[in-house]
Structure formats: C-alpha cells, structure tokens
C-alpha cells in the first residue's frame, strides 16, 4: 500500500473541500470493505483518504415529506433490521439479507454498496476497468468470462455492476443526493450508473469532488408490491450470479405499471423495459411471470462461457414477480 495523507471531516461540506478534481487526488473511506482491498492490491492509490464515518448528517433512516431518507453511512445491517424497510420495501430488505456475511453487513454502508468498484477479476488483477492487454485488446470476450455481462456488453465494458441495493432502489424509483463544490444536486439512481467508454471514465456519475449523501425512496413508492430474488452459487459470502427486483402498481388486481430491474448481468443495473411493457394490464400468474422473464432477457448476448446466466436472469424475474404477488409457494417452483 502506498503512503497517503489522511483527513477526518465532521461535515459533508468539509469532506468536499478535502477531495480533489481527479480520482487519484483523494478517496472516500466509509466502511472500507472495498477501498482498503483496492489500496492493498495497488489498484487504487489515492494521495489522500477522507474518512467520512464521523459525519452525523450522513447517518440514519427517516421518513420525510419526500419519502424514506436513507443516509449514505447507514450500514447494511441497520438496513436489514429496520422494521419499516422490511414491511414497506421488502425488495430492499431481501437484498440486504442477501449479503450473507455479518461482518460485511456490519461494516459495509449503503453508499459504499452503490459506489463499490466492479468485482471483475481482470480489473482486480490490474488490467484496467475495460480489461485490456498491453496492445489494447479486450481480454474478456475470449477469456474467462463466466461471471461477466450478458446485457449491455456490446463493448467496451464487460464487467457487471456489483451493487446489491441498486436494483431494488431503482425499481422503487429512488433518487440520490450528491454534494460538491457547487452545492447539492439530485438525480435518479437509474442515471447514477453509466457504462464507461474509456479508462478515464468511471461507472458512476459521481464527480471526484462530490460526496453521495443520501438515498430517497419517494413516498409514492409506498404500497407498491415489491420483491427481490437472487440466484447464487452458494449461500456463503458470494456475489449473486443474477438478481431481479420488481415493483408493481396494482389496480383492481391487475398491473397498472411495473418496474423490473436486473442485477449482476450488465455493467449497470439493467432496467428490463420489454418485461415492464409486457406486464402492463396483466394479472400476476405463473404464466405471466414466465413471459416477463423471457422479455427481460430479450436481446441478451452471452459471451463464450456465461450463457447460463440468461436462464438464471429469466428465473430471477419470474420468482421475484411471484414473490411480489404473495405467491411464495409458486415462486419456489417457478422456472423449474
């Protein structure tokens, strides 16, 4: 690990002052479950580490006139244990439960989950975000791409977004608030994630001198039927192979509108527009859920070794929809 300066601000404004215009100038430390590993492996070498854990304004889960406000420093464990989240937003609760390590849930933060870097082993081995060799050739298409993207992977990025919370938050219409030198700005969480086109870009719309301060689930999302379903190789600590989060506005037993978001299958949380259109005006049945699963993976382009993810994503959508409808028993049988 390279030497670095250290700062511990007590306000978000002070934290912004200690950041820089370039990513290597400074890095934000919250739970540290990702940053410290990157620094130890010399993937990240910030000149300054800005510890934001002492900023009280970034803590807490509160209901406001806008909706549910979740501070960026809220731990995954606090999110998991929150009764209001569990009752009103089971999709978020289920995603937090899916992080099976008690240590990661205790130390990891909501903001850190959204801002963590890709888990692509080429990136983690020092080949860059877009995984190129010394001649600039992409390593992923003909390499070990078992866990890489099947959607949004026409190039140059092939990694998958690693966030557990982003799919349910996006399905629920969440926004994020950012603070920088020019003040605050608020954007839809769906717009926070971007597919980088060069090594100079990042996979987030966060500027180097901005701090993510809070996530807001709008008040209008209360009452939506919502659920998250994850497909993973093992129940021990591991990232899912595919996930689906859904949020449904119901009217007289039929779906007035639907939001379907896939995780771990694309460089960004993937909004499955075809599935959403297919669900409009339908009742939730095993047949409808299966059709939506097919629609969600329409246009998927699996690589040489990850074609299995198409079926996993399809099943995740199907079971998430049935779970949101309260058909847990049917969901357990879906896709088999």
Distance CA 72, CA 52 (A): 10
Which residues are bridge partners to 243 per DSSP?
Answer: 230, 263
Confidence of residue 234 (pLDDT cuts 50, 70, 90): confident
Is 254 in a helix, a strand, or coil? Answer: strand
Distance CA 198, CA 156 (A): 8
pLDDT on residue 155: 86
Question: For residues 43, 48, 52 and 55, what is the CA-based torsion angle, rounded to 10 degrees?
Answer: -170
pLDDT on residue 335: 41
pLDDT on residue 334: 41
pLDDT on residue 57: 97
Residue in 306, 302, 301, 244 with CA at minimum distance from that of residue 276: 244
Distance CA 320, CA 326 (A): 10
pLDDT at position 267 over 90: yes
CA-CA-CA-CA torsion sign (207, 51, 170, 244)? positive
Rounded mean pLDDT of 179-188?
Answer: 98
The number of C-alpha atoms within 13 Å of 120 and in the hemisphere containing its C-beta is: 29
Q: Which two tokens stand for residue 279?
A: 């669900």
- What is the pTM for the complete model shown? 0.96
Is 16 in a helix, a strand, or coil? Answer: helix
Pairing of strands 48-51, 26-29: parallel
Ordered domains of the chain (ranges, CATH)? 5-54 (3.30.43.10), 225-333 (3.30.390.50)
Distance CA 130, CA 198 (A): 7
Residue in 312, 322, 256, 259 with CA at minimum distance from that of residue 285: 322
Which residues are bridge partners to 185 per DSSP?
Answer: 178
Rounded mean pLDDT of 28-54?
Answer: 97
Main-chain dihedrals φ then ψ at residue 255, nearest 5 degrees = -80, 115
pLDDT in tens, 48-86: 999 999 999 999 999 999 999 999 999 999 999 999 999
61 and 80 Cβ atoms separated by less than 8 Å: no
Rounded mean pLDDT of 270-299?
Answer: 97
Strand arrangement of the beta sheet that strand 225-231 belongs to:
225-231, 242-251, 254-263, 270-271
Percent of the chain with pLDDT strictly greater than 70: 97
pLDDT on residue 237: 75
Distance CA 152, CA 138 (A): 15
Find tokens 């926070």 and name the residue.
Answer: 192
Distance CA 18, CA 105 (A): 28
Find tokens 């990240």 and name the residue.
Answer: 44
Percent of the chain with pLDDT strictly greater than 90: 94
pLDDT at position 158 over 80: yes
CA-CA-CA-CA torsion sign (233, 234, 239, 244)? positive
pLDDT in tens, 315-335: 999 999 999 998 644 444 444
| pLDDT averaged over every residue in the chain | 95
Distance CA 296, CA 272 (A): 5
Strand arrangement of the beta sheet that strand 183-188 belongs to:
61-63, 67-71, 211-218, 175-180, 183-188
Residue in 69, 59, 49, 61 with CA at minimum distance from that of residue 9: 49
Please, which residues have CB within 8 angstroms of residue 315's CB and are 6 or more apart in sequence?
A: 231, 293, 334, 335
């Amino acid at each position: 690990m390279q030497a670095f300066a250290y700062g511990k601000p007590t306000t978000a404004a002070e934290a912004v002052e200690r950041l820089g215009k370039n990513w290597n100038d400074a890095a934000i430390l919250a739970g540290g479950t990702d940053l410290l590993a990157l620094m130890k492996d010399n993937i990240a070498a910030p000149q300054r580490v800005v510890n934001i854990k002492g900023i009280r304004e970034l803590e807490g889960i509160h209901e406001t006139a806008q909706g549910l406000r979740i501070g960026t420093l809220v731990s995954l464990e606090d999110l998991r244990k929150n009764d209001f989240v569990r009752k009103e937003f089971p999709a978020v609760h289920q995603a937090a439960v899916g992080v099976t390590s008690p240590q990661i849930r205790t130390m990891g933060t909501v903001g850190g989950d959204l801002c963590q870097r890709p888990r692509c082993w080429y990136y983690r081995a020092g080949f860059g975000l877009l995984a190129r060799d010394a001649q600039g050739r992409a390593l992923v298409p003909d390499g070990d791409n078992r866990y890489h993207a099947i959607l949004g992977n026409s190039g140059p990025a092939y990694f998958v977004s690693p966030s557990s919370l982003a799919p349910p938050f996006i399905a629920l219409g969440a926004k994020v608030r950012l603070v920088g030198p020019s003040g605050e700005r608020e954007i839809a969480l769906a717009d926070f994630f971007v597919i980088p086109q060069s090594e100079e870009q990042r996979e987030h719309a966060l500027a180097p001198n901005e701090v993510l301060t809070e996530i807001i689930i709008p008040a209008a999302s209360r009452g939506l039927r919502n659920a998250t379903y994850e497909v993973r190789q093992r129940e021990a600590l591991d990232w899912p192979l595919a996930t689906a989060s859904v949020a449904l506005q119901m009217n007289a037993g039929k779906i007035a509108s639907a939001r379907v978001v896939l995780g771990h299958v694309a460089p960004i949380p993937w909004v499955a527009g075809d599935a959403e259109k297919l669900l409009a005006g339908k009742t939730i049945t095993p047949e409808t859920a299966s059709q939506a699963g097919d629609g969600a993976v329409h246009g998927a382009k699996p690589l040489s070794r990850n074609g299995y993810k198409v079926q996993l994503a399809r099943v995740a959508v199907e079971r998430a929809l049935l779970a949101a409808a309260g058909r847990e028993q049917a969901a357990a049988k879906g896709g088999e």
